[in-house]
Amino acid sequence: MSVSHSHSTEAHAHPELGFLRKYIFSEDHKVIGIQFLFSGLIFFLIGGTLALLVRLQIGFPQGSIPFIGRWFPLSWGDRMSPDFYAMIFSMHATIMIFFVIIPLLTGAFGNFCIPLMIGARDMAFPKLNMMSYWFMWPAFAIILCSFFVDGGAAGSGWTSYPLLASATMPAGQGFHSPASPHSGLGQICWLVALVFVGISSMMGSVNYMTTIINLRAPGMTLFRMPLTVWSMFITAILQSMALPVLTVALILQLLDKTINTTFFLPPGGMSFGNQHTGPGGGQTLLWQHLFWFYSHPAVYIMILPAMGMVSDIICTFARKHLFGYKPMVLAMAGIAGLGFIVWGHHMFQSGMDPRLGTGFMLATIMIALPSAVKTFNWLATLWGANIQYTTAMLNALAFVAMFVIGGLSGIFMAATPVDVFIHDTYFIVAHLHYVLFMSSVFGIFAGIYYWYPKMFGRTMNETWGKVHFALTFLFSNCTFYPMHIIGVAGHPRRYYDSTLYHFLDNVQSLNVFMTISALLLGVTQIIFLLNFVWSLFRGTKVGANPWHSNTLEWAAPSPPPHGNFLETPIVRRGPYEYGNPAIEDDYLPQTSPQPSGVPVAAH
């Protein structure tokens, strides 16, 4: 095509960019994807350290941690104070959700994979893409600085319910909250940082949707796209429609805290001992509605990209086509659509009309259906396949298995009568960690091991990868499975010292067991980090398609140059043509010419 040739000569005719424009303020989606990957992994370390602090407190409530007294004046000497503990678990959740999982899944893999997999040269708006990454940096700075401001970082849970989070003193008394020292400047930093994260994600989502709609290579119809791209597309739709509501909620709480608006302050205001906020007039419950209206689609934002990536990885290493391509796409769309009408299941205990609760319960239970369709399809894809147990495949298989467990515990919560019992217990914590750590994070690991050669031109070490996988799988199950048990026994979440309650005496040993497993889990991640960094410089160099995969990104060099493809790819078939007995190879890339004598596939 004359157009593509002129494009390729254009690519070579670009002036050579300086270091700053090539690697720091780059408009190339691959560089931006890798930037998101690096910052996401750094914050994974920070969030993980916070998690270990949480576990230390729960496992050894009377214990002390040496450096705390020196760095954090609000603690009880070297012991954590209850407020400090509240800050640690709130920031752990905030960082993991908004600075690790969403940036890694949508920012890193979305940016890197989408243009490559649809045959585009770059995203639709490269400058917007760059801004979407750099808008995260104010958020990074503010959220980290919030630990060191007066009063400490936010400590009202990642859910920041008013009035604990939002009540401020009447005008003229600074940003101190009478409810908690952690609801002062730290909470304001939290709100502002999340506004930046939201803006970054909204810019990214508009970019992804436009790219996928309009920039596909010739022949790449919507139903020939790999599931990774479909999942990123549906996730982008979720982000664009749900994030603005969170932004409004954050801004309303910010206004409540700074200029004495009364959105969440009940009529008559609120007394805190001798202190009193101003007159109120608002509705405290409104925050929960606005917050969960975003935060429920957010959990689907955190799982759908992993589902898409895992589908592609499973097909590549099972050397078999995906079972039920269209149902898989429709199931993802169904999960996303239903995800908009179930947010009330986080609020079953808020005193809502039981008839409203029934509606939410029905919709929540229905989400199990498309999720089950996907799980059965993965299993059917694996059935009778010639499975290659590479590290990426092991992580992907773990995703499927752990997602089943996480999903099953979700069904308990969906039923309102059961949820009334297990709400705010460790059963919820178990569920959320099974779907977030043991599904999304295994999905992220699978994606890293899989696409690392494409990103850096070298593979990670397979042996150490498998060691990392095995230990992570073992220790994460040891850490999070017993949470189901102690949760049903009545162990509440967010409690500073459960040894104060004698009905929990029998489960404290499980708490110690989980803490030790969590520490070992944390240490195991060092293997991954060493492998990652070492392989950047000393990993085995590979060519374009080390995994013999079909999708378009493997047709570009590793790593791909600016402009991705040497000439515009022409797509002739779907992405899952594996194991066709009529063909010599067990795979048939999307751009390969049709082999003679082989009938053309239906779609």
Partner 1 sequence: MTETHDDSHDMRVKAYFSVFIALSIFTAVSFVANWAAHPERAWITPHTSFAIILGVAVVKAVLVGMIFMHLKFDWGRVYFVIIPISIMAMMMMMVLMPDIVIAWQPGQEPLEPAVSITGTR
Partner 2 sequence: MTQAVHEHSEGHMGIPLPTGKVAMWLFLVTEIMFFTALIGTYIILRHGTPANSPHAWPTPHQVHLVEWIGALNTFVLICSSFTVVLAHHAAVKGDMKTVMRHIGITLALGCVFLVVKAYEYNAKFQHDILPGHIGESLPYPEKPAEGKIQLAESQAIEREKHDHPVGMQYFQRVKLQLEAIKKSSIPAELKAECEKLLDDMNPASAAAQAQAGAFRRPLNPAEVGERANEILEKAEKAGVALHLSPAIPFGNLWSSCYFAMTGFHALHVFGGLVIFVVILLMGLVGKLGPQHANMLELTGLYWHFVDIVWIFLFPLLYLV
**Residue ranges binding partner 2 (CB under 8 A):** 1, 3, 7, 124-125, 170-171, 202, 205-207, 209-210, 213-221, 240-245, 247-249, 251-252, 255, 259-263, 267-269, 271, 276, 278-283, 286, 290, 293, 570
CB-nearer residue toward partner 2: 81 or 283: 283
Residue 259's binding partner out of partner 2, partner 1, none, with CB under 5 to 8 Å set by partner kind: partner 2
Token pair of 93, please?
């959740």
Q: Are 346 and 352 in contact (CB under 8 A)?
A: no
Task: In whole angstroms, give the CA distance from residue 356 to residue 251.
Answer: 27
CB-nearer residue toward partner 2: 270 or 331: 270
CB-nearer residue toward partner 1: 87 or 265: 265
**DSSP helix/strand/coil, 380:** helix
CB-nearer residue toward partner 1: 270 or 432: 270
The least distance separating partner 2 from the CB of residue 188, rounded to whole angstroms, comes to 17
Task: In whole angstroms, give the CA distance from residue 120 to residue 173.
Answer: 55
Residue 33's binding partner out of partner 1, partner 2, none, with CB under 5 to 8 Å set by partner kind: none
DSSP state of 401: H
In order of 166, 169, 187, 256, 263, the CA distances from 163 in angstroms are: 5, 12, 12, 10, 11
What residues have CB less than 8 Å from 537, skipping those under 6 apart? none
The least distance separating partner 2 from the CB of residue 586, rounded to whole angstroms, comes to 28
Q: Which helix (H) or strand (E) holds 368?
A: helix 354-382
Task: In whole angstroms, give the CA distance from residue 398 to residue 4.
Answer: 41
Pick the closest to residue 105 from 43, 42, 38, 36 (CA basis): 36
Token pair of 416, please?
């309102």
The least distance separating partner 2 from the CB of residue 125, rounded to whole angstroms, comes to 7
CB-nearer residue toward partner 2: 251 or 489: 251
The least distance separating partner 2 from the CB of residue 334, rounded to whole angstroms, comes to 20
The least distance separating partner 1 from the CB of residue 341, rounded to whole angstroms, comes to 8
Residue 353's binding partner out of partner 1, partner 2, none, with CB under 5 to 8 Å set by partner kind: partner 1
Residue 478's binding partner out of partner 1, partner 2, none, with CB under 5 to 8 Å set by partner kind: none
Residue 271's binding partner out of partner 1, partner 2, none, with CB under 5 to 8 Å set by partner kind: partner 2
Q: Which helix (H) or strand (E) holds 488?
A: helix 462-488
Residue 341's binding partner out of partner 1, partner 2, none, with CB under 5 to 8 Å set by partner kind: partner 1
Task: In whole angstroms, give the CA distance from residue 138 to residue 144.
Answer: 10
CB-nearer residue toward partner 2: 30 or 458: 30
Residue 218's binding partner out of partner 2, partner 1, none, with CB under 5 to 8 Å set by partner kind: partner 2
DSSP state of 125: -
At residue 535's C-alpha, the angle toward residues 529 and 536, to 5°, is 95
Q: Which helix (H) or strand (E) holds 232?
A: helix 227-258
CB-nearer residue toward partner 1: 154 or 347: 347
Residues that bind partner 1 (CB under 8 A): 241, 245, 283, 285-286, 289, 293, 340-341, 350, 352-353, 355-356
Pick the closest to residue 256 from 279, 232, 289, 226 (CA basis): 279
Instruction: Identify residue 476 by its one-letter amino acid code.
Output: S
CB-nearer residue toward partner 1: 43 or 287: 287
The least distance separating partner 2 from the CB of residue 34, rounded to whole angstroms, comes to 23
The least distance separating partner 1 from the CB of residue 49, rounded to whole angstroms, comes to 38
CB-nearer residue toward partner 2: 246 or 444: 246
Residue 220's binding partner out of partner 2, partner 1, none, with CB under 5 to 8 Å set by partner kind: partner 2
b/e burial code for range 469-502 (CB count within 10 A of at least 16 → b)? bebbbebbbbbbbbbbebbbebbebebbebeeee
Q: Are 381 and 314 in contact (CB under 8 A)?
A: yes
Residue tagged 């060191």 (tokens): 148
Query: How many beta carbons lie within 10 A of that of residue 421, not counting itself?
Result: 12
The least distance separating partner 2 from the CB of residue 271, rounded to whole angstroms, comes to 6
The least distance separating partner 2 from the CB of residue 595, rounded to whole angstroms, comes to 22
The least distance separating partner 1 from the CB of residue 234, rounded to whole angstroms, comes to 12
CB-nearer residue toward partner 2: 284 or 371: 284
